[in-house]
Structure 1
């Protein structure tokens, strides 16, 4: 009861029209947000919360269920409920594809991971020729075959992103882009070396709940949504030279952009 006796959690408001179990969830959430319970810390047990709030065990379980659905806590059978460790945050900056990074031989993921003080890794790499999905083909101008590059990104050994790049086959076949490691600066550097100087990117971003496959791939906790980002790269001739379809763990990212006011 030390955590409760020390004032980490308050009392219920009997005059509130908010359900009791939601009030308890609110107090626990606030304690987590303010780091009164840090990553990996064990929350007070069900019995302790029942005694502290003078409520039923089912009320407490409903409160904890809310926090689990929000991805804030993990329940370990026989051990208790713990604050879920948060993956390192990677900031998606508006200049992440600036040419200066490619000139330094670094991919956008590597640059931003280093800025966050994290160790980047790539696994589950697959490179193959295939027929693109209809929407991807439309974005690329209608090619029947593409080179698809699939990979999963990790920060400090935690999966945070899964991406598939689709490149028209006439651009990628028999080039370093078709190799598992395309070389310094990644596929964008190789495209520019092949004469397709990049002019601009278009991105579409939305958030949604993950599919079961995405939960497994990114090892997502219950209640954590994903960011679905589709980026199209255009060269100076106006040709779409790549579409990257990316699924990101929403709790691992901050989207940060600078927009001109004129």
Structure 2
């Protein structure tokens, strides 16, 4: 007997289609996820229910679910089942996150974003050291070859779940011996300290790309199968136009929506 009571199983397979059955099943479920019939967090039917409804082998069902998992639409939890992956939680509004008022309130950008999302932020794996800038960082900061930079790397989490890593590069001649070289740079973060030192920020430039994560990124961000990452490189300039920081950020794409408010001029 076919099971049609579950909202994800409104249609059976089409025997006239030349499309492989596992792809037909994946198409049905993808459509249900995209149109909201299956909501974030919903549990999918069991393999046995799929087998009975579509009249296929268990491996066919598993292939369909693996396809959706590779696309990042569902996640499998051992002993519990397969669930629709939650949609992004954090709206990263580029035009607001570095507003001076946040720094004046003692909030770094990540704290301001997490507060707006109602999430509890934490920062760990903080490592501060000096290095010789590589060619790309030196170019972005306008440094001579071999000039040292202060490097600040850290991992950010929301409600205990890692969501991004960030590595900042600041000319050592600016940061050495200041609070920027400490694990905790104080209220408002590094940008507040740069402004305390007279480097009043004027604007930021960001470059965003996307790719599948490297093995170490999967581990540090605890990424599930099929989740790409955003790679965002930001350069901060002071009001005189001099670059004072480069930040290389890796973000889990299933957590963030990148939002840009652009003037029409």
- TM-score, scaled relative to structure 2: 0.91
1:90 aligned partner? 90
1:211 aligned partner? 214
Q: 1:218 to 1:112 in 2, by over 3 A?
A: same
Runs of 5+ consecutive residues of structure 1 not aligned to the other structure: none
1:153-210 CA-to-partner distances (Å, cap 9, x unmatched) read: 1111111100000000000001011111111111111111111111111110001110
2:67 aligned partner? 66
Query: SS of the residue aligned with 1:152?
Result: strand
Deviating beyond 6 angstroms after TM superposition, the runs of 4 or more aligned structure 1 residues are none
2:175 aligned partner? 172
Q: 1:108 to 1:76 in 2, by over 3 A?
A: closer
Provide the aligned C-alpha RMSD in A: 2.1
- TM-score, scaled relative to structure 1: 0.91
Q: State how 1:66-215 maps to structure 2 within 5 Å.
A: 66-76=67-77, 79=79, 81-83=81-83, 86=86, 89-93=89-93, 94-143=95-144, 144-215=147-218
Deviates more, 1:56-65 or 1:235-244: 56-65
CA distance in 2, matches of 1:30, 1:184: 46
> Are 1:43 and 1:80, in contact at CA under 8 Å, matched by a contact in 2?
no
CA distance in 1, matches of 2:226, 2:232: 19
Query: SS of the residue aligned with 1:5?
Result: coil
Counterpart among 239, 243, 254 of residue 240 in structure 1 = 243
1:126-158 CA-to-partner distances (Å, cap 9, x unmatched) read: 111112232111111125211111110111111
1:28-56 CA-to-partner distances (Å, cap 9, x unmatched) read: 233444253652x5432222211110112
Runs of 5+ consecutive residues of structure 2 not aligned to the other structure: none
Count residues with an aligned counterpart.
260
